[in-house]
A and B are shown apart, each in its own frame.
Chain A
């Protein structure tokens, strides 16, 4: 019987500084067979271990459409993320997973897609965005609306241009507070909605960001005619085991680690602490 708590060893190949406290780690499993056999869905997560420090759930930010490696974008907010941030390339970490349900992908073939991200919330969306762009023919128009508090907190800046240059992709970026160098939009992410000319018909919205952002975005999306089923988001919990056993991520009778972390707004509305 497979031991679901037993991590595989992965090696950090590359580290990219996204912001002052967010780094993107490119990794691959040390055992080539494990790396070759790796399949995952956008929106799934890994349990990443720094041995001797602990383990943390991290959403996979790379796309399953690109093989041979995987990427985790990590904000330095706690014990394990702090330890990972101090690691140089070449470091070995433990990886279990992938876990969780992931975003509906096949189900949204033929639909137009709206991505609304805030801060590090772009990390799980980036996986799906790249997965969609790598399989462009399967999807309609793509709109990406992204905001952060300050220009310095925008993640994946290098990729913005790549995304914008793709056919039928509209990407708008905003910050809550600009600086001297910032010439783009200023305001919360919902202020981009009128500018982007969003139409709810045949569109599915994927929303990831800080808890303070989500209710405002959902309210505006509902006003624009999105239904509770066409608004998809993720929930954040400290999923310690990833396999529905430790109990830490339960909301109502749902295990965020197994039933989620991706839920429709309809599902989320029905949940009670």
Chain B
């Protein structure tokens, strides 16, 4: 465990509410709230009562990725007035994400390296990052992270197989874990510690008994995953060595509906398209918009040719990007955090655990000519 500060703190539920009320006044607070249909989503809150405190769910339907990479993001405005004037548009809103789960925080760490340009620097990681993305970086720097560790895995969760949960070991500001009606508070950063010292009366130091209790909670939580196991390493090896039989992708491709849902719900998927939107004859905006490698048009080139026109090639591409060692080297981890959202979302039952299992058992599956699911 590498907490920023070894001390463990405890905050009561009432004090946590008091603390959050202060934050709501000073920044935009994003938290899990119940939508009209009862689903849980990350949304800016105005009242602390809006938070879906019941925790009768494990995670929000969508990851909080849109607060760092909005579905449609304005990059700049242009205006013609005896020549073009371009004004970049940055989002410098100070934010806090409250109740984010460890898998989603790990996805942010993945995106930090990617948008920071670290994943492009060649060979050694000390090399200068290439083309850092100022839009992402500014948002991320202005966002404080209060993570909630997971006592109980959700139906489709497999973070334990992806080294992405159910608790964070680093790279958070504060990590809260529900403990006997109060919350254990771990400090993961300097700005996390600043919050503790700035509101000292709301926190107390944990007793040695509580410290042990937190350790027990964490052990128990991992055990609750039971037999859940996605054998990532074998899939990684086979994808890396191009040893996955093409008929695996063909069979999966036959049932893919091209909806792109996998990419939209994935906390690490971040491919985008670029579009200009004129607002008048002389003004307009440039936007970037979430895109998906599942779409045929994703590889369209000038003249109309589509380079990955077969669904099998697109699926192969998606899982190569998520799993290959070539990408692990660039990104310092594989591209799945085990949040399970693709399992929940894909109407055709094409998801990470299933693909990993299919690759692992491909000989048998290819012979039987049947892939489980759908």
Contacts and interface: CB of A to CB of B under 8 A. Distances in A.
A75 B278 CA distance: 24
5 contacts: A4-B133, A78-B303, A243-B131, A247-B272, A248-B298
A152 B16 CA distance: 75
Contacts of B293: 247
A78 B120 contact: no
A52 B276 CA distance: 5
A252 B115 CA distance: 19
A92 B76 contact: no
Interface of A: 1-7, 9, 30, 49, 51-56, 75, 77-78, 81, 92, 94, 211, 236-238, 240-241, 243-248, 250, 252-253, 255, 258, 272-273
B299 A237 contact: yes
B68 interface: no
A5 B75 contact: yes
A51 B278 CA distance: 8
A237 B308 CA distance: 11
A49 B316 CA distance: 32
Given A54-B275, A273-B313, A273-B317, A9 B83 contact: yes
Given A9-B84, A248-B299, A253 B134 contact: no
B291 to A, nearest CB: 7
Given A6-B75, A49-B286, A246-B271, 10 more contacts: A1-B132, A3-B135, A5-B88, A5-B288, A77-B303, A81-B302, A94-B86, A247-B291, A247-B293, A253-B330
A237 B307 contact: yes
B320 interface: yes
- Interface SS majority for chain B: mixed
Contacts of A253: 320, 324, 326-327, 330
Contacts of B83: 9, 30, 92
Contacts of B368: none
A56 B293 CA distance: 19
Interface string B88-121: 1000000000000000000000000011010010
Given A245-B133, A246-B273, A51 B302 contact: no
